[in-house]
C-alpha cells in the first residue's frame, strides 16, 4: 500500500481501536511510516496487529473497517461458504466427480465471462501422481529417479 491507502489502514486502528499502545496514530510514528520501517519492525507490528484482531470478532472488525471506508471482506470457512446465499444466488457451486466416484460440491470460479466460460477440467493430481513429470522437467532422468526412490530420498 502506498500513501493515503496505508494511512487509511492505520487509521482503522486509530483512536479507541489503536492496538499499538501509542497515543497518536501509528502512521505518524516515524519508525513505522515507511515501507522499510514497517519491514524492520514487522515482528512487533505483526504481533500487535494479531493481538488487536483477537479483541473483537470478525463482524465487529468489518463494521469498524466499513466506518473508516477501508475495503475489507470476511474470511470464510468452508461451512460459511456452504451457507453463503450470495454464492447460491450467483450459481457459485458446481459438482465434480472425484477419483473414487464420489460427487463433490465445490466453489466454482469467482466470476463468469459470457464469451469464455470458466470450468474446472480436472482435479489437482494426487500426492505423488505427477512426480515423474515434475522431476523430468527439472532434468532428473528416469534412472536417477529410480535410484532416489530406492535410497528413500523421495
- The pLDDT tens digits of the residues spanning 95-133 come to 888 888 888 888 887 777 888 877 777 778 888 888 889
Looking at the structure, do residues 93 and 135 belong to the same domain, yes or no? no
Distance between first and last Cα of the chain: 41
Domain enclosing residue 107, as ranges: 80-123
Q: Is residue 116 part of a domain?
A: yes
* Domain total of the chain: 3
- What's the sign of the alpha-carbon dihedral 54, 56, 57, 59? negative
In whole angstroms, how far apart are CA 107 and each of 43, 74, 135?
34, 16, 31
Q: Is residue 12 part of a domain?
A: yes
Tens-place pLDDT, residues 44-94: 888 888 888 888 888 998 998 898 888 888 888 888 888 888 888 888 888
Q: Is residue 75 part of a domain?
A: no
Please report the pLDDT score of residue 96 as a whole number. Answer: 83
- pLDDT confidence bin for 24, thresholds 50/70/90: low
CA 113 to chain centre: 23
Looking at the structure, do residues 27 and 39 belong to the same domain, yes or no? yes
Looking at the structure, do residues 116 and 130 belong to the same domain, yes or no? no
Looking at the structure, do residues 131 and 88 belong to the same domain, yes or no? no
Q: Is residue 74 part of a domain?
A: no
Amino acid at each position: 500500500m502506498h500513501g493515503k491507502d496505508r494511512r487509511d489502514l492505520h487509521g482503522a486502528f486509530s483512536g479507541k481501536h489503536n492496538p499499538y499502545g501509542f497515543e497518536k496514530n501509528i502512521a505518524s510514528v516515524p519508525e513505522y511510516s515507511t515501507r522499510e520501517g514497517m519491514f524492520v519492525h514487522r515482528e512487533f507490528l505483526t504481533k500487535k496487529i494479531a493481538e488487536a484482531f483477537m479483541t473483537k470478532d470478525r463482524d465487529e472488525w468489518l463494521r469498524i473497517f466499513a466506518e473508516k471506508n477501508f475495503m475489507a471482506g470476511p474470511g470464510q470457512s468452508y461451512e460459511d461458504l456452504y451457507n453463503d446465499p450470495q454464492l447460491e444466488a450467483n450459481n457459485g457451486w458446481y459438482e465434480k466427480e472425484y477419483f473414487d466416484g464420489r460427487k463433490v460440491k465445490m466453489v466454482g470460479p469467482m466470476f463468469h465471462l459470457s464469451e469464455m466460460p470458466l470450468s474446472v477440467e480436472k482435479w489437482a493430481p494426487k500426492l505423488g501422481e505427477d512426480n515423474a513429470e515434475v522431476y523430468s522437467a527439472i532434468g532428473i532422468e528416469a534412472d536417477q529417479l529410480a535410484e532416489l526412490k530406492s535410497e528413500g530420498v523421495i
